[in-house]
Amino acid sequence: MQLGIMGLSHYDFTVHTKQGIHIIKVPYDDIKVQEIVLNLDSFAKYQICPLLVRRHLAVVLQ
């Protein structure tokens, strides 16, 4: 997500060990980001919003 927001094509995943430093270039994947956004939208609609409505109604109906 941050790569897309910043307009970057990749990031360097860096691991430091006693044997040295290893760098892996990780590319930005627009298709994967779109899939994540759709899943988050669905999760919010069908999990978070109903929970918030139920909690709000429980408070209002007390």
57 pLDDT higher than 80: yes
Round to whole Å and give the CA distance between 18 and 12: 19
In one-letter notation, the amino acid at residue 50 is P
- What pLDDT, on the 0 to 100 scale, is given for residue 1? 74
* E-state strands within the chain: 10-17, 20-27
Average pLDDT over residues 26-51: 94
* pTM listed for this prediction: 0.59
- What pLDDT, on the 0 to 100 scale, is given for residue 62? 80
